Amino acid sequence: MSHDATQPLLTPLSMGPLTLPNRVVMAPMTRNRAENKDLIPVEIMATYYAQRASAGLLITEGSQVSPQGVGYMNTPGIHSESQVEGWKKVTGAVHARGGRIFLQLWHVGRISHPDLLGGALPVAPSAIDPGVDVYTPQGPKKSVAPRALETKEVEEIVVQFRKGAENARRAGFDGVEIHGANGYLIEQFLRDATNLRTDRYGGGIENRSRILFEIVDAVASAIGRDRTGVRLSPANIWNIPADSNTKALYDHVIDRLSGSGLAYLHLREKAADVSSIPHMVENVTATYRPRYKGVLMTNTGFDRETGNRVIESGLADLVAYGVPFISNPDLVERFAKKAPIAPADSSTFYMGGERGYIDYPTHA
């Protein structure tokens, strides 16, 4: 595809060992298609990702690093040999189309239910019920109070992330993204509303962010810092309350990650009005671009025009698109042609099967 100087989104970018042909990233999105008891990626997942391989980078749906990390039905894992084999079909199909793909490493922590965990309680930094609905094989159920992790178990989770990264590389992924956003386990450790621990993983900001830095270092030592991305959502209040000083927390975290040689930092903009919350970060990318040295990816609510604008302004290097990629497998080509963007059918986002997954047409 020829480079369109009027569309910065369509210009190449060097990211660690990779050269991305454009700056349009497919955001990680849970699609619940691993319909088997062992949560192994299935054939249609290879088709789905390969259809979207013209993206500068594909980031997979969150993939749990252990059976304890499951929070939704039919989400694929990256902790068993059979899962690694299943993912090989996905990476092979994407690479055959000339694409690049990172796997998102995930542990949901307390956003789960005993029905998804063989009867065991979900785990978390502290035993605080998130008060959410969880979709179980028996239908939606109220969440329960999780079990607080022992210190040794937290150390084991760090090792599970490292192993997940090793497995991802063996499965042929170009790198991994550590999921530190959206109210899942890492964010539960970061925030003082959900972390009441008194060991070295709780207390002040330094201790609450310790698990994140330990996971980043463990993953980086296994596969290289330049193949390791991190996703954070400073303005997130979904699944989790705000921190008492969100700005100070994320200033600390992002300052520590800055200049450390990561593949990228992936930041989510706010998805709800947070203006009444004290010490909240509202314009996430604009706040952290000056503080973060390295490749910065932004996400949430961008279209072609706003995506081009945020790249042109220098506020971000990459823009991740979620829903538009569901219904437009050729999103990059549509941006290039300025073609219309097809709407997505939200009723098929999580339902399983081919419908609303691999049957969206490309633009004529």
Domain range annotation of the chain: 8-348
Per-residue pLDDT of the chain (364 residues; tens, 9 = 90+): 445 668 999 999 999 999 999 999 999 999 999 999 999 999 999 999 999 999 999 999 999 999 999 999 999 999 999 999 999 999 999 999 999 999 999 999 999 999 999 999 999 999 999 999 999 999 999 999 999 999 999 999 999 999 999 999 999 999 999 999 999 999 999 999 999 999 999 999 999 999 999 999 999 999 999 999 999 999 999 999 999 999 999 999 999 999 999 999 999 999 999 999 999 999 999 999 999 999 999 999 999 999 999 999 999 999 999 999 999 999 999 999 999 999 999 999 998 899 999 999 999 7
Q: What is the pTM for the complete model shown?
A: 0.98
One-letter amino acid at 15 equals M
Give the per-residue pLDDT at 364.
77
> Encoding tokens for residue 164?
């997940």
CA-closest candidate to residue 28, choices 362, 332, 333, 323: 323
Q: Are 269 and 300 a contacting pair, CB within 8 Å?
A: yes
Give the per-residue pLDDT at 3.
55
> Domain 8-348 carries which CATH code?
3.20.20.70
Active site residue 184: yes
Catalytic residue among 49, 72, 184, 292: 184
Give the per-residue pLDDT at 1.
47
